[in-house]
Chain A
Amino acid sequence: MGQKSMIDQTAFERLLFWLNPDRDKAAEKYEAVRHRLVEIFASRGFPDAELLADDTIDRVTLKVEKIMEGWVGDPAYYFLGVARKVILERKRFPSVVLPPPPPDDDEQERREREDQCLERCLALRPQGDRELILEYVDGNKKQRQEQADRLGITPNALRIRIYQIKKAIRPCVKQCCNEDALQRNHMPQLVI
């Protein structure tokens, strides 16, 4: 991926403009396209999905000046075409992908840390979210139906609400675990 050094700020700005003339909307679209590309590569079974997504975007950025004038329709489709090319190349010339790292020796310690961070992050949520999500997670299909009935919403609406809570908590738990891990490694971290 030596082409990375050839991608300059101008080319990137051009890419954003192609996605949307409004800079803020272009940034949103960029993130959305990247996120979806990562999902596609991951669902195709590639462990380095993020790298492949970035590679796809880099390739599009290099050619954007030539593409954008003649292109009609959503630029996302072009990204998909390049992504498919990347997939074919990978199948023909598979890279050596390192296996996932072995679990920590201190598995118990890691679990305790995650659980503490989760409790802490749940406590930061609005009142009721904690009980809602813990009841849902612990329940079976019938109990979830009963929970939805009690709340006066459909099971799918409850499912979506639970997903939104989980989505909100994840970054908090991740940050908490990272901070805790840093403290345990005695790295000074000034909280300002």
Chain B
Amino acid sequence: MSPDVVDPNKLRQYLLGALTEEEQLAPIEERLLVDDDFFEELQLVKDDLIDEYVKDELTANDRQHFEQHFLTTSERREHVRHAQSLARCAHKSLQKAKQSSEKKDLKDSNRTRPFFLWTWLPQTPSLRFVTILILVAGVGSLVWRVFLYRSDLQQGQLALKTAYRLRRPVEARVSGFDYAPLPNTRGNNETTVDELSRQRAQRFLLNAEKDQPGAESYHALGLFYLTEKKFDEAVELFRRALELNPNNPYIHSDLGAALLEKGKLYKLNGEDGKSLEAFAESLEHLNRALTLNSHLPEALFNRALCREYMGQQQAAVEDWRQYLENDPQSRWTDEARQHLKQIESQTPEIG
């Protein structure tokens, strides 16, 4: 581009409809048609104008021209909406950064503030003693409740994690589970399961679903069935959980995982139509999870896997690369790298 021979002000006037004589318009339009750099500069000036309009930096006269002349086509109005959306995101991002910095300052200042409990207690010794007893009992109860007490749901979730700490039962990533490799041998159903923990998990999670029905308990029991490879039951429970909590990215991701595993099973059994349907629905839920939380590693991992099974090699490569950007150093990363390497070696034209 040669900006020294392009007058951005002239282009600006052109875009705002301030040039009306054919003698003024003709040279600009001729250049636009044949000079790529000139056309690109026009796009840049257009972008600047939109930017100034959104930030309310145009003069009153320019603003009027902008609204009456420039904003005539739907494409330009779309560009303005896009710029407004960017401005809102930028503002939100700045606010978040400020709040985060303020919270940190408050936390630091709170550390130095002394807590004079003693002066709040009653002056009479006997009353003071009773108050202290009540406070200690209350604090003790709180400590027990927060740190020691575990509901059926929590116990069940913990037991399930423990059951599969050595080998994971399915290829897809499941939320809340630490890394564990897949079984080494194909067709071998041995998953090195801690059977005692598995039974405990089953007992607690079934109780939780019965006594505390809700999105959390349905989700947790769904995870249990997923690890049992009872995919229909898992899908049913995840769907029930989503009815109660439709914007939970973890449930969407786990439902995606269950459908992905179901799709793989159909494929193995030669039921290609059902397999494709399951993969497609899995992809919908994984996309939804990523819409709710764009950096959710489980959903990113599973989406790459799903696309690979669907034969969408290019999209799978892009997803694996995105996963590696988000999670550059974990044991999951090694698996992601292996998948990427495998696809790239099988389809060298990709990447």
Of residues 276 through 330 on chain B, the ones whose CB sits less than 8 Å from some CB of chain A are 276, 280, 283-284, 287, 290-291, 294-295, 310, 322, 325
Residues of chain B within 8 A (CB-CB) of A46 are 72-73
Specify the main secondary structure of chain A where it touches its partner.
helix
- Judge whether B29 and A191 touch: CB under 8 Å: no
**Chain B residues with CB below 8 A from A156, complex form:** 3
Interface size on A, residues (CB 8 A): 51
Taking a contact as CB atoms under 8 Å apart, the answer to whether B33 and A190 are in contact is no
Out of B39, B75, B85, name the residue touching A115 (CB < 8 Å): B85
Expressed in whole angstroms, the minimum distance between the Cβ of A124 and any Cβ of chain B is 7
**Docked complex Cα distance between A156 and B3 (Å):** 10
Task: Report whether B32 and A100 are in contact in the complex, using a CB–CB cutoff of 8 Å.
Answer: no
B150 lies within 8 A of chain A by Cβ: no
**Is B331 engaged at the interface, CB distance under 8 Å to the other chain?**
no
Which residues of chain A have C-beta atoms less than 8 A from B25's C-beta? 44
Chain A residues contacting B78 (CB-CB under 8 Å) are 170, 174
A-B contact count (CB 8 A): 116
Residues in chain B near residue A21, CB distance under 8 A: none
Pick the residue among A33, A166, A169, A191 that contacts B33 (CB under 8 A).
A33
Q: Which residues of B contact A118 (CB under 8 A)?
A: 82, 85-86, 89
Q: Is the interface of B mostly helix, strand, loop or mixed?
A: helix
Number of interface residues of B (CB under 8 A): 52
The B35-83 residues at the A interface (CB cut-off 8 A) are 36, 39, 42-44, 47-48, 51, 69, 72-79, 81-83
Within 8 A of B (CB), among A96-139: 100, 111, 114-116, 118-120, 122-124, 126-127, 133-135, 137-138
| Measured CA separation A25–B276 after assembly (Å) | 38
Q: With the chains together, A14 CA to B236 CA distance in Å?
A: 59
**Roughly how many angstroms separate A66 CA and B330 CA in the complex, as a whole number?**
67
- For residue B244, give the distance in angstroms from its CB to the closest CB of chain A: 20
Q: List the one stretch of A3-11, A57-65, A74-82, A145-153 in contact with chain B.
A: A74-82
Bound-state Cα–Cα, A135 to B91, Å: 9
Is B290 within 8 A of A39, CB to CB?
A: no
- Which residues of B pack against A, CB within 8 Å? 3, 14-15, 17, 25, 29-30, 32-34, 36, 39, 42-44, 47-48, 51, 69, 72-79, 81-91, 93-94, 276, 280, 283-284, 287, 290-291, 294-295, 310, 322, 325
Residue numbers of A with Cβ under 8 A of B are 32-33, 36-40, 42-47, 49-50, 74, 76-77, 79-80, 100, 111, 114-116, 118-120, 122-124, 126-127, 133-135, 137-138, 156, 159-160, 163, 166-167, 169-170, 173-174, 190-192
6 A-B pairs with the lowest CB-CB distances in the bound complex, closest first:
A123-B294, A138-B90, A134-B90, A76-B33, A137-B90, A114-B85
